[in-house]
Structure 1
Amino acid sequence: MNSILSDKKPLVATGEFSITLSPPEAVLREGAPTSGRHTLSKTYQGGLQGRASGEMLSAGQPQNGQASYVAIESFTGTLGGQRGGFSLAHFGEMDNGSETLKVNIVPGSGNGELTGIRGHLQIRRDTGKHFYTLTYWIIY
């Protein structure tokens, strides 16, 4: 953990989000495996309220349970009653039944009343719905 955050108590926001993901656009490079580029659009509800849009790159064979993705999404709206925006960086991987996902707030991306925000987001899927827990700090 960043030493600047070690003595601050984190804030937590929870809720649900919906996502629209475009079909993959193939990214072809001679002699390399095919990867896909997607656009994404999200609507957040709960402690985090607003919209996000971004891009995702994926590779591998998700139909066989082996793939990775990286993405950047930019959020704008409110968090805990504070208006502004920030970006989230994703890294996800699936391999033979095991899945890992790391989503961090991009340092320096906060604006408006969310300037100085740091933290990470956890995503949970349940019966076709997406839920989040955002743990964050705002450094003034």
Structure 2
Amino acid sequence: MSHAVGTFEVQMTPVAAEADSPAGAPGRMRLSKTFHGDLEGEGAGEMLGLLTSGFGAYVAMERVSGILNGRRGAFALVHRGVMEAGSQDLLITIVPGSGEGDLAGIAGVFHLKIEGGVHRYDLEYKLP
């Protein structure tokens, strides 16, 4: 497996709920990211989540495009996160078959860590 490490900035923009959405329905956010380090590029996606008093969950889909360790292309990520009492269980994986350009056939896992407000990633991946 290869690794790509670096940081990213993320902007989350709320999407207005439909007028007939029931109370307590999941909220939607648009994601916009800029990656730095071994992955230089942009991410765009959408998140659906619930959060109540420190507990919650989210799912998201994201398309990443840019240059990964010298290879230009794109791929999709699928996110699953559960938060409970200050801890979180995250799983972010590359969607099989989503690689394009020099990243066709990519597979792997995106590890995320937030330290001091800085978003850090370690993308563990393999290419054919």
Residue number in structure 1 paired with 2:6: 15
- TM-score after normalising by structure 1: 0.86
> How many angstroms does 1:25 deviate by?
2.8
What amino acid maps onto 2:62 in structure 1?
A: E
Larger strand proportion, structure 1 or 2?
2
Structure 2 unaligned regions, length at least 5: none
Structure 1 unaligned regions, length at least 5: 1-9
Q: How many residues align?
A: 127
> How many angstroms does 1:103 deviate by?
0.3
- Alignment partner of 1:114: what SS? coil
Residue number in structure 1 paired with 2:114: 125
Equivalent position to 1:98, from 87, 97, 106: 87
Encode CA deviations 1:38-68: one digit per residue, 9 max, x unaligned: 101000000011001000001131xx11110
Structure 2 residue 105 is matched with structure 1 residue 116: yes
Q: Distance in 2 between matches of 1:94 and 1:24?
A: 21
Structure 2 residue 61 is matched with structure 1 residue 72: yes
Equivalent position to 1:107, from 96, 103, 109: 96
Structure 2 residue 66 is matched with structure 1 residue 85: no
Q: Distance in 2 between matches of 1:38 and 1:136?
A: 27
What amino acid maps onto 2:26 in structure 1?
A: S
- TM-score after normalising by structure 2: 0.93
User: Percent of pairs identical after alignment?
Assistant: 42
Encode CA deviations 1:63-94: one digit per residue, 9 max, x unaligned: x1111000011011010100000000000110
For the pair shown, which has the larger CA radius of gyration, 1 or 2? 1
> Stretches of 4+ moved more than 2 A in 1?
23-30
> How many angstroms does 1:24 deviate by?
4.8
